[in-house]
Amino acid sequence: MSELLLLNGPNLGILGRREPDIYGSETLADIEQAVAEEVAEFGWKVVARQHDCEGEMVRTVQDSYHVVGAILNPGALMMAGWSLRDALANFPRPWIEVHLSNVWAREQFRHQSILGSLADGVIFGLGAQGYRLAARGLAHRTGAATP
């Protein structure tokens, strides 16, 4: 069975309790389950990881070259996660960057992702649904799903 990496960064482990007016009321476990349901038809298994430390995220990326693809919500590391960027530059599989909130509708410092130019796609501002869309996009990108 092929594996899909679902990697979430700092502060995303407290979804559901963290500023629900911005990030929604769904927990990370809810999102992981939704992605698992979305990719089950492709015979994919979700490998979900959440780290509050950039180094742990880097190690997860480096240890996941075998996966079919990845969905990554780097949280605030999108703005300053240079070692994560370096790890993703070498990642041999397609991946999509996802953010729950519309970062361009928020503070100016959130308006740039140092990772987005490396990603196969980016999804911002669609809440938890963005993860499902990313999963479907990766299935199309890898040929697991037909248009």
Structure tokens belonging to residue 93: 């599989």
Q: What is the pLDDT averaged over residues 88-107?
A: 86
Q: What is the arrangement of strands in the sheet containing 2-8, beginning at the earlier edge strand?
A: 44-50, 2-8, 69-73, 95-99, 121-124
pLDDT in tens, 47-70: 999 999 999 999 999 999 999 999
Say which CATH number the domain at 77 has. Answer: 3.40.50.9100
Residue stretches of the annotated binding site for substrate: 73, 86, 100-101, 110
51 is catalytic: no
DSSP one-letter code for 103: G
Say if 46 falls within a structural domain. Answer: yes
CA proximity to 57, closest of 92, 101, 12, 87: 87
23 is catalytic: yes
Q: What is the pLDDT of residue 104?
A: 65
Residue 105 has pLDDT above 60, yes or no: no
Residue 35 to residue 43: CA distance in whole angstroms: 12
Residue 6 neighbours by CB under 8 Å, 6+ apart: 31, 32, 35, 46, 47, 48, 49, 70, 71, 131
pLDDT in tens, 16-53: 888 777 767 889 999 999 999 999 999 999 999 999 99
Q: What is the pTM of this model?
A: 0.92
Q: What is the pLDDT of residue 124?
A: 92
CA proximity to 136, closest of 40, 25, 12, 27: 40
Q: At what angle do helices 28-40 and 129-142 cross, to 10 degrees?
A: 30
Say if 147 falls within a structural domain. Answer: no
* Owning domain of residue 135: 2-142
Say if 90 falls within a structural domain. Answer: yes
Residue stretches of the annotated binding site: 73, 86, 100-101, 110
Range 6-17 burial, b when 16+ CB lie within 10 A, else e: bbbbbebbebee
Say if 98 falls within a structural domain. Answer: yes
Residue 109 has pLDDT above 70, yes or no: no
Residue 142 to residue 146: CA distance in whole angstroms: 10
The tally of domains found in the chain comes to 1
Q: What is the pLDDT of residue 119?
A: 97
Residues 65, 99, 131, 140: which is the catalytic one? 99
Residues 23, 66, 111, 131: which is the catalytic one? 23
DSSP one-letter code for 1: -
Say if 86 falls within a structural domain. Answer: yes
